[in-house]
Amino acid sequence: MAQVPPTTQPTASSSKSTILLGSLDICSLQEQEVYLQEACKEQEHADREKEQAHVLREQESELAKQEECKKYKNRYVPTPTGLFLHAHSSFPLNMREAEEEAPNLDDDILTLVCSEMGPVFQSTAVTKAKDCKVPDEANHRMLRTMKQVE
């Protein structure tokens, strides 16, 4: 409801003043107070509705974010960096030793080897016979962390 500023005009029939609010004629002080109280209540109600709508929008956006995190949970998983830094300080290997170190694997395990035709699975015995280095996944992670630290 639009509020119109009150204007005071003296009337010829009585000595008291009449406040004109749009099309409303309010003659007594009690009616003025009642009208102002109603206007305050309406304003408070409108403010509460705005606040509730804002809270509802925040809750909906939070729910949407949670659903997206559930849907793409691997995208939002934090990577632990302290563990790698601790591992780096506890092992006295430099980068060359880590690259040259071959893992101790059974001869029956298949390993992924890059060849001319692309990646190929070969047994560990064949790979060792070819004097091919089989990189360990932990070594790659450690190397990446060591490079980041330096």
Q: Give mean pLDDT in consecutive 10-residue pieces for the chain, a chain of 150 residues.
A: 50 46 61 89 94 95 87 66 54 56 63 79 71 60 82
- Does residue 16 lie within any of the structural domains? yes
Domain span including residue 23 = 7-71
Question: Residue 38: what pLDDT?
Answer: 93
d(CA 91, CA 113): 27
Long-range contacts of 132-135 (CB under 8 A, 24+ apart): 133/99, 133/100, 133/102, 134/102, 134/103, 134/105, 135/99
What is the separation, in whole angstroms, between the first and last Cα of the chain?
Answer: 67
- Does residue 76 lie within any of the structural domains? no
Q: Do 89 and 120 reside in the same domain of the chain?
A: yes
Question: Residue 93: what pLDDT?
Answer: 58
Question: Residue 50: what pLDDT?
Answer: 95
